[in-house]
Amino acid sequence: MTQPFQLSLAPRQLTQTINPWSWSFGDFSLFTVNLGQSRSPEVEARVLDEVGSYGRQIGRISEALLALVDWAQEQPDGPSSPAFQALRDQVAHVALIKKAVEAEGG
């Protein structure tokens, strides 16, 4: 018994990573990321464009808060809290991540 002739132009296995977050079409976007309800989306959009991303805003708030914590702890009978150390640890961790990304060329 002979096998009929079969021609296959497709590979037996085909894999492709599809990452829609990396697609770029100029000013056109296929996706909208909704980070929650806002009472004034116009204000929020302008703040993000003109002031800074949420990460940048949180970073500045964290730095200011650390300065206040340091000042408070220098006072006689200054407060002490595990939350202060947790904040310091978080800010230090963010700094390490930033340094690693910069070293990778990002």
Q: What is the pLDDT of residues 39-82, one digit of tens each?
A: 888 888 899 899 999 999 999 999 999 999 999 989 988 888 88
Find the domain containing 96 and state its range.
53-106
State if pTM tops 0.85: no
Euclidean distance between CA atoms 83 and 60, whole angstroms? 18
User: What DSSP state is assigned to residue 10?
Assistant: S
* Tally of domains in the chain: 1
In a domain, residue 88? The reply is yes
The token pair that represents 98 in the structure block = 């930033």
In a domain, residue 46? The reply is no
Between 98 and 6, whose confidence is greater?
98
In a domain, residue 33? The reply is no
Euclidean distance between CA atoms 19 and 7, whole angstroms? 32
In a domain, residue 60? The reply is yes
